Amino acid sequence: MFQPLRKSIVFSLLVMFSWFQGWVLGQQQPLPLKVVRTSRTSNGFDSPPRGWNSFGLQANPGINPSFAFDQNGVIEQADALLKVIPADLLAAHDYYISLDSGWSIGDHGDEHGRITYETSNFDIPALASYLHSKGLKLGVYILPGAFCKDSNKTIDGTYIPIEATLTGNNNGFSRCDFDFSKDGVQEWHDGVVGLFASWGVDLIKLDYVTPGSPSNGGNLPPDNSGEVIAYHKAIAASGRRMRLNISWKLERNETYFKIWSSNADSMRTDQDINNSNEDTFIEWATVQRAIENYRDFISRVVNATTEPVTTIYPDMDSLFVGNGEAITGVTDSMRQTIATHWIGAGANLITGSDMTKIDELGVRLLTDKNAMEVADSTAKYPMQPRNPGTGRNDSKQLQAWIAGPDDSGNAVVVLVNYGPDEGQGGFGTKIEGKQLVKATFSDLGISGKFGVKNVWTGEDMGTMDNEVSATLDAGESLLLKLART
């Protein structure tokens, strides 16, 4: 009488084993590749910004003690940048000279509470005019809120006092926060951006946006995303073509990602990558962290829909690759790996290096023709992780990435050995020395035959139809262009 029961149990166990075996195999099989595309941003841009930002030299004065953050010091860096950027690149792309914190008066604005420049250091309209005459554009840095000292001033074009638009919260940076339900808030933002437009400003970097930005000694509200919306509307009202870059380490859930991508052009995925008050710009540990934050960013984009499209560029912070190891703080192969990842991500290509001390490799990493062609491609098809062996998107020390394939079937592939996790890389492993990094076409989610080219060396590596591989030391990578044959 127990025979049917035994058969039932055996059958159930076989079904469970079969399901488990299928589940294991499913975990090992690469997921189908969902190609990520970047469409035109909310303010009308089809590529990320390039150029130079002042913050690295401001934060690390020992690197260039002669640098002064004023009109002459900025022009010196701009002129040095112009010496290395080929004319065709300058004509084809938006290159900015971006002023970071300190260009404006720190605790009050003009007669209407609008942000204005510190006249002892800058003449912003004259600087914009000079840069424009050279084919460059101007960016400025701002913080959320209105100056608390300006609360009794009247918003330009209205009879509304600034204090009538505020929440009463002092955010700790000489600014009081807006109540975005109040009349006059949008008019204040319109006045600020209108003033910037009259000066010739081309990019606004809005820092300390929440949710995301740590308070960093301030008293930030949990959600000031209304600032991003208000500045976006103000840019549209100004009639001037301007970018809006927002910062830092911003919340990437579905709710806020929609706000950022509907109003801004670039969003900071990490905190500052540079050292502070040291004689080198960066450390490899923070580079690992920046790449891990991009991995999380793009993986969320991939997972959000079956046909992932984004309308905002990742800002991985300044591209510190222009100076030698003694100044940058990492090896030359790591510098190349940094450039490879920023390019592959379709991220902002704004360097923070000292342009007056740029070396031969630095010039190549910022201007190489093959690499810049890849940057044009990844501005539309950013790279995503595809783990060697599984094709998944987890954080790994030995990693592969793919951008595309594009509409012509061509793709960009990156192989990399990040070296031992220095604490913020996300992958946790500490494998030392040179390692073989191999990704099959199945891992990458592609099939067919491709002509493979080493982007940085220009070497033609022949036709491949199965895998790509390289033996890479810690911090070393390989940037490949795959052309379908």
Place of tokens 């960016």: 139
Q: How far apart are CA 110 and CA 199, in angstroms?
A: 14
Strand 349-351 to 50-53 pairing: parallel
Residues 6+ apart with CB under 8 A from 95: 49, 50, 51, 81, 85, 89, 135, 136, 137
Tell me 117's DSSP state: B
- Using only C-alpha atoms, the chain has a radius of gyration, in whole angstroms, of 25
The residues near 79 (Cβ < 8 Å, ≥ 6 apart) are 134
What's the angle, vertex CA 298, arms to CA 461 and CA 362, rounded to 5?
A: 55
C-beta of residue 60 within 8 angstroms of C-beta of residue 352? no
- In the 8-state DSSP scheme, what is residue 33? P
Q: In this structure, are residues 171 and 221 in contact, taking their beta carbons and an 8 Å threshold? A: yes
- Residues with catalytic function: 207, 272
Which residues are 453's β-sheet partners?
460, 481
3-state SS string over 147-200? Answer: EHHHCCCECCCCCCEHHHHEEEEECCCCEEEECCCCCCHHHHHHHHHHHHHHHC
What is the b/e burial string over 276-285, where b = at least 16 CB atoms within 10 angstroms of the residue's CB? Answer: eeeebbbbbe
Give the angle 381-387-389 at the CA atoms, nearest 5°. 130
